[in-house]
Structure 1
Amino acid sequence: MRELDQLLGWWLDARYERAGTEAKAAFAELLEQPDPELWHWLQGHGAPSDVRWRAVIDEIRTRDHV
């Protein structure tokens, strides 16, 4: 899904380099989740149970406000 790639690519380009080890690991784990689940979370129709994943998702969702 192109939209999903763009959203996740934003975090990779804008945040990955400065992110800590835990955030990088969380991002890598997120990439292993099914696309429909990721899309659901990124659209704000739910949230992952893992707080580390949630932090990355929240950062992506609020990227224009940071």
Structure 2
Amino acid sequence: MDNAHPNPTDLPADTELRRLRWRCRRGMRELDQLFERWLNHAYATASDADRGVFLRLLDCEDDRLWRWFMGYEACPDAELCDLIARIRALPA
């Protein structure tokens, strides 16, 4: 494994969370708030599988994420679609 990119599950929880918060900064306030909401409300109790889906979501392009979250376009990936729905349902 490349030490420059450690596996997130090998990092201390606070370091991992700081890195995720940085990755959630998208430059689009609405997306930033949605991702931050998931980190604040669901990350601590999320399964490894859900955390993996969240990481895949963070790899998506902002314009596509915006269309999916706003319902302008259907997400073609069922796991991402499910997580998007759960994030949207979280309290602000």
TM-score, normalization by structure 2: 0.64
Q: CA deviation at 1:39?
A: 0.7
CA offset digits 1:1-54 (Å, max 9, x no partner): 111100111011110111111110000010010001111111112232222111
Q: Mean Cα displacement is larger for which, 43-52 or 15-24?
A: 43-52
- CA-atom RMSD in angstroms: 1.1
Partner of 2:23: none
For structure 2, the residue ranges without an aligned partner over 5 or more in a row are 1-27
- Structure 2 residue 63 is the aligned partner of structure 1 residue 32: no
Q: Report if the CA contact (8 A) 2:69-2:88 is conserved.
A: yes
**Structure 1 runs not aligned, ≥5 long:** none
The structure with the larger Rg is: 2
Higher relative contact order (CA 8 A, sep 6+): 1
4+ residue runs over 6 A deviation? none
Richer in helix (by share): 1
Hey, what does 2:50 align to over in structure 1? 23
Identity across the alignment (%): 38
